[in-house]
Each structure stands twice: as structure tokens, then as C-alpha cells.
A = this chain, B = another copy of it.
Amino acid sequence: MPDGAPKKPSRIQLRNRRTILDAALEVFSRHGYRGSTLDQIAGSAGLSKPNILYYFDGKEDIHVTLLNQLMETWLDPLRAMNAAGDPQAEILAYVQRKVDMARDLPRESRLFAGEILQGAPRMRPDLETGLRPLFDEKCNVIQGWIDAGRLPPLDPQHLIFSIWATTQHYADFEVQVNVLLPGEQDPHARASAHLQTMFGKLLAL
């Protein structure tokens, strides 16, 4: 029979796969792919190493699964940018969603950053097929706003890069931020205010 019907996974399967992926996210995001060991993941998941290999084909399988899931989450905030909305409000709302994501999903941000930093060895196809079409589409939306005189002339592509860079910075460089802002209870609140101001000025007509 063709494996078109992979049989519904049992409750245990579902629970354990989720546990493993969560543990792996924790470990991979802190130590990178090569810096993480199956023993660490197993320990963090509270399972034995062979047990983990019962649920996944290997270390790489876990990593790839994680990256694939991540791509979906990652694109959501950009997808939500609506061409029919108000340009300034849409872009500033996008900035806010990215700030919130850096605060709420720092592990995901670091996993992604680590993968890109090392040349995206396991993710380049996903970048081409998943990210790039969406990126191009939204650049066109922004360019349309500019052409309609609803935004000042600016470089849509580099605008998006700047939004990514500034927001993800608070997750990816968290340690540095904490060293430089000691005792700050909520860096993200001030970060958010600063970024809204900065991009607000950039987008003002």
C-alpha cells in the first residue's frame, strides 16, 4: 500500500513528539546544531536517547522538523500586513508584532538566527520557496503605497530588513542587551516605544 495513510499517531506519539521538539528547541536555540547533543535533548525531554530515536530518524530530522514548523510561525506577522489598510498603521503594527514575537518566542528567533548565520545549510530551500515570494509580495505592496503617494519614497526591501534586524536583535542579542541595560525590568517596553518612534518618523509624509 502507498504510505498515503500514515495512520493517525497515538496520544503517546503526539505527546512525546511535542515534548521532544520543545526540548530540542530549548537546546538547539542555546547551543546551535553542532553544539547540541542527543543526550542533552534527551535529558531536557526526560526521555532516553534511544527513545528519542524511536520518534525521530535522527538529530538532523529533529532539527529540520523544528525549522519547518518555525517558518510558518515566522511568516505570520508579515502575512498579516494588509494592502487595503492604512500604510503607516499597517507597517507600525507589523513592527509591533515582531517586537512581541521577539519577547514571546526568543528561542525560535535564536534558532532561526543561528541557522542563517551558518549559511542556512538546512533551510535555504525554505527561504526560496517560503520566504521569498511573501517578501516580494509585501515589497510590492509597500512600493504601491509609495507610488500612490501614501508613503514617502523609501526602499521597501531595506525597510523590511531594518524591521527584522531591530526587532529580532532583542531576542538574538539578549545577553548583550542585558549586560548593557542592567536592572531593566522590561527592555521590550522601551524597545517598542523607541522602534515605534523611529519607524513612525521614517514613514511620515
| Chain B CB within 8 A of A53 CB | no
Contacts known (A118-B30, A176-B127); A162 close to B195, Cβ less than 8 A: yes
Q: Does A18 contact B (CB under 8 A)?
A: no
Q: A7: CB under 8 A from chain B?
A: no
Q: How far is the CB of A186 from chain B (nearest CB, A)?
A: 13
- Within the oligomer, what is the number of copies of this chain? 2
Determine the chain B residues whose CB is within 8 A of the CB of A113 once the complex forms: 113, 117, 172-173
Interface residues in A61-76 by Cβ distance below 8 A to B read none
A77 contacts chain B at the CB level, 8 A cutoff: no
Render A47-64 as a binary contact track against B, CB cut-off 8 A, 1 for contact: 000000000000000000
Q: Chain A 90-134, CB within 8 Å of chain B: the 1/0 string?
A: 000000000000000000001001101111100010011001100
Residues of A that sit less than 8 Å from B by CB: 30-35, 110, 113-114, 116-120, 124, 127-128, 131-132, 135, 154-155, 157-159, 161-162, 164-166, 168-170, 172-173, 175-177, 179-181, 190-191, 193-195, 197-198, 201-202, 204
Whether B179 lies near A117 (C-beta < 8 A) is no
B201 in contact with A118 (CB, 8 Å): no
CA of A191 to CA of B161 in the docked complex: distance in angstroms?
9
Decide if A158 touches B117 in the complex (CB within 8 Å): no
* Residues of B close to A194: CB separation below 8 A: 154-155, 158-159, 162
A34-B35, A164-B169 given; name 15 further pairs at CB < 8 Å: A32-B35, A114-B117, A116-B172, A117-B172, A120-B175, A127-B175, A131-B180, A154-B198, A157-B181, A158-B194, A161-B177, A162-B194, A165-B168, A198-B198, A201-B202
